[in-house]
Amino acid sequence: MNLKTKNLQEKIVSKKLDGFISFNPSNIFYLTGFGAENSFIFITRKNATLVVPELIYQSAKENANCSVEIAKEDFFDRYKNKKIGFEDTIQYCRFKKLRKKIKIFRDCSGFAEDLRAVKNETEISKIKTACKISQKAIEYAGKKLKAGITEKELADELEYFLRKNGAEKSAFDIIVASGKNSADPHHKPTNRKFQKNDVVLIDLGCVYDGYCSDLTRTFFLGKISSKKKKIFEIVKSAQQKAIDTAKDGVKCEKIDFAARDFIAKNGYKNFFIHGTGHGVGIDIHEEPSVSAKSETVLKTGMVVTVEPGIYIPNKFGVRIEDTVLVTKSGCEVLTK
């Protein structure tokens, strides 16, 4: 039995449950080391079983670090009178079927996610590699920037670059936003061509051996106006204040406040319109949330992004994002 499963079993015991079920592919991968769709993992106080369609049974048996069974209608018959924990992400149709089999259900949402928030050395190593690949890609992007290239063209080229340099895939749809499009935090690349004196915001990340990275840089194509330069420096300083605040034992809301307060004091309170960051791991967005209302306490081994931004509607936007590893004394910036 691996340590991750043992840690979850301790939660099962502490909540006086007989078992826990997860259909979440990310949680399944975390607990078994095998990425399985249309499957579930069922963990009792003593055992862990990955239940999969017959189509992937052989592959699961060879790669999962727990016992594997083919999905059958009578699987839960033996647990009819047991107390089972489930997650709120379960599909309603599945819940209805399980309700006929199991009489006592308890909401255990966050069971696995809380464990996933703190990474072990193997996970950290994979995230660091993903960060290095992303760093190479952003450096490549800086060299390719020139007037006449479209947002889509560069985004496609960066996707290829990530794969060519060892990534499984992009961690999310790459954002390449130029001109006034950079004022949209989640802009989708268009056929707009880069123009002289554009602001170009690039947000990318990749997946390496199941783990993600996240990185944003803002480029200036040509001359930089005094206003753009001022806003860039405000965002850069706000990010540094947040990074300086991040360490073991600090609430996430304090990291958010460090960045948000600095931006507000410099006159751009209403132009920072999202949270300061989020956890990164198997999913590109996972626990903990680095936001104004997050009371989650940072722990050594957590990996989060720090990404303040200022967005001037219909003009331009600036965001700087790095992935950082929380340590006892502070944090290590994994993207340079």
User: Do 86 and 105 meet the contact criterion of CB atoms below 8 Å apart?
Assistant: yes
- For residues 275-281, average pLDDT: 99
The CATH homologous superfamily of the domain defined by 118-333: Creatinase/methionine aminopeptidase superfamily (3.90.230.10)
Element (H, E) at 70: strand 67-70
> Is the model's pLDDT at 1 over the cut of 80?
no
> Is the model's pLDDT at 73 over the cut of 90?
no
Alpha-carbon distances of 246 from 249, 310, 319, 323, 327, rounded to whole Å: 9, 21, 19, 12, 9
> Is the model's pLDDT at 30 over the cut of 90?
yes
Q: What pLDDT shows up at residue 165?
A: 99
Single out the residue of 49, 40, 46 nearest to residue 10, CA to CA.
Answer: 46
> Is the model's pLDDT at 79 over the cut of 90?
no
Binned at pLDDT 50, 70 and 90, residue 275 comes out as very high
Alpha-carbon Rg for the chain, nearest whole angstrom, is 22
- For residues 205-234, average pLDDT: 98
Q: What pLDDT shows up at residue 17?
A: 95
Q: b/e per residue, 153-169, with b = 16+ CB within 10 A? A: bbbebbbebbeeeebee
3-state secondary structure of 107: strand
Residue 295 CB-density burial (10 A; 0-12 exposed, 13-18 middle, 19+ buried): exposed
Q: What pLDDT shows up at residue 321?
A: 99
Residue percentage of the chain with pLDDT more than 70:
100
| Top-level class of domain 3-116 | alpha beta
> Which residue has better confidence, 329 or 326?
326
Task: Flag whether the pTM goes above 0.75.
Answer: yes
> Is the model's pLDDT at 253 over the cut of 90?
yes
CATH 3.40.350.10-classified regions of the chain = 3-116
- For residues 235-241, average pLDDT: 99
CATH 3.90.230.10-classified regions of the chain = 118-333
Residue percentage of the chain with pLDDT more than 90:
89
Among 96-105, 181-190, 291-300, which stretch is predicted with the lowest mean pLDDT?
96-105
- For residues 250-263, average pLDDT: 99
- For residues 299-305, average pLDDT: 99
> Is the model's pLDDT at 78 over the cut of 90?
no
Q: What pLDDT shows up at residue 61?
A: 96
- The whole-chain average pLDDT of the chain stands at 96
